[in-house]
Amino acid sequence: MDVDDYFRTLGHDRAIGALPGPPAGTSPQAWREQRRDQVWQDWGLAARRPERDLPPAWHVTGAVDQGSHVVERGWFEASPGLVITANLYRPAAGHASGAGMLYFCGHSPAQKIHYQDHPRRLAQLGFTTLIVDTLQYGEIPGKHHGLHRFGEFWWVSRGYSPAAAEAWVAVRAYDLLVSQGIDSSRIGVTGHSGGGAVSWWAAVLEPRIAAVVTSTGTVSEISHLDHRTLDSHCDCYFPVNPRGEAIAALYSLVAPRPTLILAPRFDLWCAYGAVVATRDKLADHHAGHSREPWPLEVFGFEAEHEYTPASRRRAFGWLTQYVRDGGAPAPELPADIDGVRLPEEDLRVFGGGAQPPRHAANETAAAWLTDAEPVEGLTPDEVAQRVWDTCFGFAEDRPPAGGVRIERRYWRAGTEFLDFSHEPEPGWRVEATLRRPLPDPGDRAEATGQPLRVYADHRAVDRLSKDPVTEPTLQLAVRGSGRSAWHPARDWHVRRAAVLLGRPLAAMRALDILRGLQAYAEVAGQPAGVHLYAGREMAVPALLAAVLEPSVTTLEVTDLPASMQLSDQELAEQGSAGAQPEVGGLLRVADVDDLLTTLKDRGVRVVTSIA
């Protein structure tokens, strides 16, 4: 199967497959809370939760009085060292409703200056509104486009995504609003583009958020894979996905809070039909598990990836109804923005004598923001279990290889060739060739209990050689090699698509090796030991397979990255270009040297060439 067909099949399965729901006897609310706790774990933020016991301090550097409201420019720390710039729009006395609003910026470099019309109008409607800059374009810039533009695929191994980072900033912004005297049950969230996605994620993590309006922030896997829009789309739309679940499964945790999806009919990235299908799927799922109504609507309008006056008015109406007015509909929608805009110097936090804090560490947040639990002191078996539980949630719990099929069997020059195939996952068939010495004439019984030499790389099987092999040798055509190979120009798309679907390439390839060894045992019996050889992009998969498979007694790999925490550029500079080593969440558990130590502790002979 072509890799694109495989990914589209997985995306289609998510589009039509059932979303997870509460088991019998569990209330929808209790089940959502259990799932929410799991999301905090999955996104690597669980250890940060105690920080919420204290709200972040709001440091004001200036203010502008607009009559109906005052705009404060200031900053807060989402975590120590993670400095976020923002503007706080406070309604004037007599105009404040006691309700609050969080506005999350999209990908405009001008951030809160570009999107200022929205918090201005919300303040005029009585909302105390905090508009928050993103990590990518805040006044103290960090990295938000790591995979999307800069090849920071090590983020995957770290279990880090800009979606989780921005979601953490969002819930800390929520805490800040509450500390300003806003009722915690009367705070809504809204935003555009990436900010529309963050509106979803904020409501997933914080159950007290009252209502959501997400503009051009709703996606589906199948649309991105079918139309290849994934290639130009930011990863803040795609959180860490260790079990390979549908994005809609996360959206479902926002129920039953009122949610309005603004969906332009001519949006390049968020295809309108896919957005409507996602809404319908969510509504059907909720109705099947709960009698509580969920106000969930799509507002479609004739536009590209942008707001229109009609979509803004619809958003303002939704938020006033469900956040400010407790669900009571107004006789007509609020008026649109008034078009009055402040100059940049009135909204920028730093400048004019105000300096950013010297301890800001936004640029390196990917390395320290998410959780880590190193494997120090664990036995090799315990390390293997931790690696499996952390990195292979997309796979079933180690079942035997499926669909083992003998394709061809023949002899040449004292060597028996056995071509077979198997399915490490449903829908993906992997080929393998076993070569072994022929038994003595007249005794064709299969020899078992011999050591097995295994190659998991791109080398071709020499079927014409007249030199007989001296030991059983298995060539595994893992994904990306043999007939399943793809052109290197497609690597970037394939790697990002694999991450989107919760199964990074190195993890899938390691699974191919593991299941290939299981298939071999079914075909030829258990070997006395496995000598595993691999190089380049197959080096990390082979390392993982060796950690997880007790029968491996020798591991010989070339071009092994010195660390999983290296960008593509750093890998190339160290002579390991094309390594493609990302494995979801592995760095939360162990790095390359930890895994090598685990193998040596198990008595495995390890020969490495580290780039």
pLDDT of 140 strictly over 50: yes
What is the model's pLDDT at position 468? 75
> To the nearest whole percent, how much of the chain has pLDDT over 70?
95
Question: Domains of the chain: which residue ranges?
Answer: 3-16+28-334+362-367, 380-609
Residue 448 confidence class, pLDDT cut points 50, 70, 90:
low
Q: How far apart are CA 599 and CA 555, in angstroms?
A: 9
Considering 140-149, 390-399, 455-464, 591-600, the range whose residues carry the highest mean pLDDT is 591-600
Whats the size of the chain, residue-wise? Answer: 611
Average pLDDT over residues 104-121: 95
- Residue 187 near residue 102, CB atoms below 8 Å: yes
Residue 445 confidence class, pLDDT cut points 50, 70, 90:
very low
Q: How far apart are CA 380 and CA 388, in angstroms?
A: 12
Residue 412 confidence class, pLDDT cut points 50, 70, 90:
confident
Residue 506 confidence class, pLDDT cut points 50, 70, 90:
very high
Domain 380-609 sits in CATH at 3.40.50.1820
Locate 281 and state its tokens: 């799927």
Residue 577 confidence class, pLDDT cut points 50, 70, 90:
low
pLDDT of 267 strictly over 80: yes
- Tens of pLDDT, residue by residue over 183-241, are 999 999 999 999 999 999 999 999 999 999 999 999 999 998 988 889 888 888 999 99
Does residue 50 have a cis bond before it (omega within 30 degrees)? no
pLDDT of 444 strictly over 70: no
Q: How far apart are CA 252 and CA 283, in angstroms?
A: 9
Residue 567 or 346, more confident: 346
Locate 130 and state its tokens: 């905090």
C-beta atoms surrounding 5 within 10 Å? 11
Q: Using DSSP bridges, classify how beta strands 259-264 and 211-215 pair: parallel, antiparallel or unpaired.
A: parallel
Domain 3-16+28-334+362-367 matches domain 380-609 at the CATH topology level: yes
Residue 328 or 298, more confident: 298
Would you state the CATH architecture of domain 3-16+28-334+362-367? 3-Layer(aba) Sandwich (3.40)
Q: What are the CB-based long-range contacts (under 8 Å, 24+) for 25-33?
A: 28/255, 28/289, 28/290, 28/292, 32/207, 32/253, 32/255, 33/207
What is the model's pLDDT at position 300? 98
Instruction: State the DSSP code for 180.
Output: T
Average pLDDT over residues 296-321: 98
Locus of tokens 């958020």: 209
User: 411 to each of 241, 420, 421, 437, 449, how far by Cα in Å?
Assistant: 46, 15, 18, 9, 21
- Residue 285 near residue 252, CB atoms below 8 Å: yes
What is the model's pLDDT at position 424? 87
- The full DSSP string for 464-481 is S--SPPSS-EEEEE-TTS
pLDDT of 248 strictly over 90: yes
Radius of gyration of the chain (CA): 27
Amino acid identity of residue 376, one-letter, is E
Q: Which of 582, 577, 127, 598 is nearest to 325 (CA)?
A: 127
Residue 435 or 256, more confident: 256
pLDDT of 113 strictly over 50: yes
* 18 CB-near residues (< 8 Å, 6+ apart): 285
Locus of tokens 């050889």: 533
Q: How far apart are CA 530 and CA 551, in angstroms?
A: 6
pLDDT of 351 strictly over 90: no
Residue 461 or 24, more confident: 24
What is the model's pLDDT at position 425? 84
- Residue 241 near residue 31, CB atoms below 8 Å: no
Residue 330 confidence class, pLDDT cut points 50, 70, 90:
confident
Q: How far apart are CA 370 and CA 22, in angstroms?
A: 28
Q: What are the CB-based long-range contacts (under 8 Å, 24+) for 337-340?
A: 337/117, 337/118, 337/120, 337/121, 337/312, 338/120, 338/121, 338/124, 339/117, 340/120
Average pLDDT over residues 376-396: 91
- Tens of pLDDT, residue by residue over 39-61, are 999 999 999 999 999 999 999 99
Average pLDDT over residues 64-83: 96
What is the model's pLDDT at position 446? 52
Q: Picking from 99-108, 117-126, 556-565, which range would have the lowest pLDDT averaged per residue?
A: 556-565
Locate 550 and state its tokens: 């007790």
pLDDT of 176 strictly over 90: yes
What is the model's pLDDT at position 207? 98
- Give, for 409, the enclosing helix (H) or strand (E): strand 402-412
Mean pLDDT, rounded, of the chain: 91
- Give, for 477, the enclosing helix (H) or strand (E): strand 473-477
Global pTM value: 0.93
Average pLDDT over residues 484-505: 91
Q: How far apart are CA 597 and CA 601, in angstroms?
A: 6
